[in-house]
Amino acid sequence: MLTEAQKETIKATIPVLEEHGATVTTHFYNTLFEDHPELLHVFNHVHQKTGMQPRALAYSLYQAAVHIDRLEAISPFVERVAHKHRSIGVRAEHYPLVGEYLLRAMQEKLNLEKDHPVIEAWGAAYGVIADIFIETEKKMYEDAGWDGFEELEVVEKRLESSEITSFYVKRANGKPLPPFEPGQYISIMAQIPGEQYTHIRQYSLSDQPDTGYYRISVKRESGPDGIVSSWLHDSVRVGSTLPASAPAGDFTVKSSPAPAVFIAGGVGITPLLSMMKQQKKAEPERPMTLIHAVRDGRTAGLTAETKDWATAPHKRFLVIEHPAHSEDGDAQGRLTADTLRRFMPEQPADVYLCGPEAFMQTAAGLLSQTGVPDDRIHYEFFGPGTALEPAMAEEY
Domains of the chain: 4-143 (1.10.490.10), 150-244 (2.40.30.10), 260-381 (3.40.50.80)
3-state secondary structure of 276: helix
Residue 322's pLDDT band (boundaries 50, 70, 90)?
A: confident
Dihedral of the alpha carbons of 197, 81, 202, 179, in degrees to the nearest 10: 130
Q: What confidence tens digit (pLDDT) does each residue in 103-152 have?
A: 999 999 999 999 999 999 999 999 999 999 999 999 999 999 899 999 99
Instruction: Specify the 3-state DSSP secondary structure of 16.
Output: helix
Would you state the pLDDT for residue 43?
Answer: 81
Question: Quick one: pLDDT band at residue 255, thresholds 50, 70, 90?
Answer: confident
Residue 191 has a pLDDT of: 93
Asked if the model's pLDDT at residue 390 lies above 70, the reply is no
Inform me whether the pLDDT recorded for 327 exceeds 80.
Answer: no
Q: Is 222 helix (H, G, I), strand (E, B) or coil?
A: coil
Q: 163, 300 in Cβ contact below 8 A?
A: no
pLDDT at 173 over 80: yes
- Please tell me the predicted confidence (pLDDT) of residue 207: 97
Q: What is the CA radius of gyration of the chain?
A: 22
pLDDT band of residue 395 (cuts 50, 70, 90) is very low
Question: According to the model, what pLDDT value does residue 345 have?
Answer: 93
Residue 279 exposure: Cα atoms within 13 Å on the Cβ side = 32
Whether the bond between 373 and the residue before it is cis, its omega within 30 degrees of 0, is no
Q: Which residue has the higher pLDDT, 383 or 225?
A: 225
Is residue 120 among the annotated active site residues?
no
- What digits encode the pLDDT tens for the residues 68-86? 999 999 888 899 999 999 9
- Give the pLDDT band (50/70/90) at residue 324: low
Amino acid in position 173: N
Work out the mean pLDDT of the chain and round it to a whole number: 91
Catalytic option among 59, 95, 214, 352: 95
Helix (H) or strand (E) holding 14: helix 14-35
Residues 6+ apart with CB under 8 A from 216: 166, 167, 169, 186, 188, 203, 204, 205, 206, 270
Query: What pLDDT score does 213 carry?
Result: 98
Q: Give backbone dihedrals phi and psi of 210, rounded to 5 degrees, phi first.
A: 65, 30
DSSP-derived 3-state class of residue 341 = helix
3-class SS letters over 92-143 = CCHHHHHHHHHHHHHHHHHCCCCCCHHHHHHHHHHHHHHHHHHHHHHHHHHH
Q: Which of 265, 268, 266, 267 is CA-nearest to residue 251?
A: 268
The b/e string for 204-228 (b: 16+ C-beta within 10 A; e otherwise) is: bbbbbbeeebbbbbbbbbeeebebb
d(CA 308, CA 192): 37
- The closest of 49, 27, 181 to 104, measured between CA atoms, is 27
Report d(CA 3, CA 8) in Å as an integer. Answer: 9
* Cα gap 348→340, rounded to integer Å: 13
Annotated catalytic residue 137: yes
pTM over 0.85: yes
Per the residue annotation, which of 137, 150, 163, 380 is the catalytic one? 137
Which pLDDT does position 383 carry in this prediction? 61
Residue type, 119: I
